[in-house]
Chains A and B, each alone.
Chain A
Amino acid sequence: MGLSNYLPSSRLIQPGVCTSSTRPASPFEGQYIYETDTDLTYIYNGSSWQQTAGSTAVGNSGLVYVTSTTQTGGTIAIDNCFTTTYDSYRVLITQTSVSLTGTTLFKFRSSGTAISSDYYYGGNVFYYNTTPGSWYTGPTSSFVTMIASGSVQTHSVIDLSFPRSANRKQFTATSTSNFSNYIGTTTHGILNLTASNYDGMQITQDAGGTITATITVYGYRK
């Protein structure tokens, strides 16, 4: 039997057990603590405490960070971001500048190549001070962001299902932007009619402008 069978917990040294106000003053990298007042656990990465889990087990819930990159170019692509680890993904696209006025388009990629034979459908666009409209998207790309120009920032969220299965790809995309009097949002429910196996994605502006954007990919934990 251990000491805890003979001594109350208050008489034992409990390494790694503290409160949010009594964390180790000189932690070492890899040190693991549990806070009794918050029921949260942290690990020290050499410079700060990183939360590892809440009071409940992480289990199969929540988003898991996959990758993020900030790039500048006429086309910005990410390869190998969709794997069989997750069935569904969330992609955040924050476009911070573009050299021409235009709309940013989305394509899937596979094995390092953009897929140009797919069909994408759907979309509504709502502008302040203009008439709401709808878009039918062309066979080789789909809208994901609003019109932007210069340093106007647009933000898009894409929820994407089964990029690595033979199922038809479905995703919803919402975007916001603020350009001139075109302040508004877009919402797209998009069905991709082919059943290919995709491992990446790319964005391009329809006017051919240079884009600077940060793309972050999360997986939905199974």
Chain B
Amino acid sequence: MNTTEPDRTIAIFDAMTGETVVRELTPEEMPDFTPAFVLKEDA
């Protein structure tokens, strides 16, 4: 995926059952997609 759109999928692995569920994040689960550290230009 080469896009600037945030990836809203979540892959949840259950260590007890060994099963993985992939679904969309709910609005309540959505992170604040704000880069916390901004890259400087390469030297």
Contact = CB atoms under 8 A, between A and B. Distances in A.
Chain A: interface secondary structure?
strand
Given A74-B10, A99-B1, A210-B7, A182 B15 contact: no
A161 interface: no
Contacts, number: 110
Interface in A116-161: 125, 129-130, 135, 137-138, 140-141, 143, 147
- The dominant DSSP class at the B interface is loop
A33 interface: no
A182 B39 contact: yes
A207 B9 CA distance: 14
A217 B15 CA distance: 10
Interface residues of A, number: 47
A71 B20 contact: yes
Interface string B1-43: 1111111111111111100101001000101111111011011
A99 to B, nearest CB: 5
Interface stretch (A55-63, A75-83, A164-172): A75-83
Given A75-B29, A80-B14, A208-B33, 10 more contacts: A75-B31, A80-B16, A81-B15, A114-B29, A138-B36, A147-B39, A204-B31, A207-B35, A208-B6, A209-B6
